[in-house]
Amino acid sequence: MPSVFIKTYGCQMNERDSEAVAAQFVARGYSLAASEATADVVLLNTCSVRDFAEQKALGKMANIAAAMRRTRPGAVLGFLGCMAQSRGEELLGKGVRLVLGTQKFHRAAEYADALLQGRQSAVCDTGAEAGSEAQIRDHVLGTDGTAPAVTAYVSIMQGCNQHCTFCIVPQTRGEERSRAIEDIVAEVRDLVAKGVREVTLLGQIVTSYGRRMIPTRDGKSPFVQLLEAVHEVEGLQRIRFTAPHPKGYGDDLVDAYGRLTKLCPHAHLPVQSGSNRVLKLMHRGYTRERYLEIVGKLRAARPGIGIGTDIIAGFPGESEEDFQQTLALVREADFDHAFAFKYSPRRNTPAAVMAEQLPQEVIEERHARLLALVNERSAAKFRALVGRLEEVLVEGPSRKNPARLEGRTGCNKIVVFEGSPRHIGQLLRLRIVRASAVTLYGDPAIVNLD
């Protein structure tokens, strides 16, 4: 039986795409290899959002190709996903025989078979394919046919029409294309029947879900209609989604946080900058005032909601004063957690050719200051939970110490505690007794909410 190993770079959408690819290989009789060393097919599912992510995947592939030349010369090595889409044929060669773009994930197993069996010598397929958004739907199941995890990702759409000036994603993922509500609900229902208790709905811009496909009904956007439909699925306990755009936070979505009890009290709301001048240059479509207004409304609709964000330091033309406004916004918005990124120029994006590119030292220095602030703030948020009762969905053994269990709070914070395997999949109320910078520790005196 041939085997496949898939390594994923980048976002949750990429992780989900990799799972769907793995499921196809399993359906064709492949086993999933534990590492690249023993695999017949090795695929790197890539990210292009920052240059660093591309360099990591290129470096990894060079190492794999060098090792495989000696040990497994017949193996098929391939790049999938965003970097494959944007670099295309230039990635073929040096041991790489498969390059598949973001609308071709569902063909990975078929092409790999053809390459392994010598029916083709190399494949590069990065074309557009109508309906490909509906193909990210299969999940790898455990050997007993149940879901291997308590939580699952569900892809609801592909592509992005926002065209933020720094971002390569519209080029790599193409135009927005959404799946039908019935198909998504059927997938969620099936996952729940197999033991899943929490789903995260995924897309590049989930708040744009169904635009131009599903009409607004009773003032509710298609995305809110989808949330309502998923909320109806019996046995499902929690709903999350990522990534939304602040522009998509109309009152209908804010209101959904107040109404839909399964919707987790958490929102990842990428702000990118706290300066209106920079937000305009980025083509974000909101001001810092509007952003803070949304945050305020969410906190009013769901007290205790956790708010996360993404921020870019060193966008072209960002002055020290602009950057100070970003730091001020971080304090004002009181984020639970924030990813801080160094601006990375991406090919064929408007920002990459803006006149005022900042020196790398300035980008690094601002990023370090931003990181120090967000880390300090998020540690304070963790500490503030000590002594509180938190609702935790138990996901499985702790990754750091498998003798303990771990789960997440509604606000998406990891809680580690001493429990028993029967707690896996249950929603428990745990007393938080200790916090590190990134983990909460729960009291073993457990109250079951199921």
Least distance to ligand 5AD, CB of residue 310, Å:
3
Instruction: State the virtual CA torsion across 390, 394, 396, 398 in degrees, nearest 10.
Output: 0
Closest to ligand 5AD by CB, 251 or 356: 356
Instruction: State the virtual CA torsion across 82, 33, 190, 155 in degrees, nearest 10.
Output: -10
For residue 167, state whether it binds ligand 5AD (rule: CB under 6 A).
Answer: yes
Q: Which of 25, 153, 343, 417 binds ligand 5AD (CB under 6 A)?
A: 343
For residue 312, state whether it binds ligand 5AD (rule: CB under 6 A).
Answer: yes
For residue 111, state whether it binds ligand 5AD (rule: CB under 6 A).
Answer: no
Q: Which of 103, 344, 378, 409 binds ligand 5AD (CB under 6 A)?
A: 344
Closest to ligand 5AD by CB, 363 or 385: 363
Residue 64: CB atoms within 10 A of its CB come to 22
Binding segment for ligand 5AD among 13-21, 296-304, 340-348, 377-385 (CB under 6 A)?
340-348
Binding segment for ligand 5AD among 173-181, 277-285, 341-349, 412-420 (CB under 6 A)?
341-349
For residue 346, state whether it binds ligand 5AD (rule: CB under 6 A).
Answer: yes
Least distance to ligand 5AD, CB of residue 439, Å:
23
**Contact indicator for 48, 20 with CB cutoff of 8 Å:** no
Binding segment for ligand 5AD among 95-103, 141-149, 342-350, 412-420 (CB under 6 A)?
342-350
Least distance to ligand 5AD, CB of residue 350, Å:
11
Instruction: Give the tokens for residue 240.
Output: 């999350």
Least distance to ligand 5AD, CB of residue 102, Å:
15
For residue 166, state whether it binds ligand 5AD (rule: CB under 6 A).
Answer: yes
Contacts of range 126-129, beta carbons closer than 8 Å, 24 or more positions apart: 126/84, 126/85, 126/88, 126/99, 126/100, 126/101, 127/101, 127/103, 128/103, 128/174, 129/103, 129/104
* Site residue total, ligand 5AD (CB under 6 A): 12
CA distances from 363 to 321, 354, 355, 407 (A): 14, 15, 16, 36
For residue 337, state whether it binds ligand 5AD (rule: CB under 6 A).
Answer: no
Least distance to ligand 5AD, CB of residue 67, Å:
31
The residue nearest ligand 5AD at its CB is: 310
Instruction: Give the tokens for residue 207.
Output: 């708040």
For residue 340, state whether it binds ligand 5AD (rule: CB under 6 A).
Answer: no
For residue 9, state whether it binds ligand 5AD (rule: CB under 6 A).
Answer: no
**How many angstroms separate the CA atoms of 57 and 46, rounded?**
7
Closest to ligand 5AD by CB, 135 or 272: 272
Least distance to ligand 5AD, CB of residue 305, Å:
19
For residue 50, state whether it binds ligand 5AD (rule: CB under 6 A).
Answer: yes
Binding segment for ligand 5AD among 146-154, 185-193, 338-346, 378-386 (CB under 6 A)?
338-346
Burial code (b: 16+ CB inside 10 Å, e: under 16) for 40-62 equals bbbbbbbbbbbeebbebbbebbe
**Contact indicator for 318, 359 with CB cutoff of 8 Å:** no
Q: Which of 310, 332, 364, 365 binds ligand 5AD (CB under 6 A)?
A: 310
For residue 242, state whether it binds ligand 5AD (rule: CB under 6 A).
Answer: no
For residue 49, state whether it binds ligand 5AD (rule: CB under 6 A).
Answer: yes
Closest to ligand 5AD by CB, 5 or 166: 166
Within 13 A of 336's CA, how many CA atoms are on the CB side?
23
Cis peptide before 243 (omega within 30 of 0): yes
Binding segment for ligand 5AD among 28-36, 343-351, 391-399, 430-438 (CB under 6 A)?
343-351
Q: Which of 111, 341, 382, 417 binds ligand 5AD (CB under 6 A)?
A: 341
Binding segment for ligand 5AD among 31-39, 147-155, 339-347, 407-415 (CB under 6 A)?
339-347
**Contact indicator for 239, 280 with CB cutoff of 8 Å:** no
CA distances from 73 to 41, 119, 123, 216 (A): 11, 16, 17, 55
Build a one-symbol-per-residue string for 249-288: x at contacts with ligand 5AD by CB under 6 A, - elsewhere.
---------------------x-x----------------
Binding site for ligand 5AD (CB under 6 A): 49-50, 166-167, 270, 272, 310, 312, 341, 343-344, 346
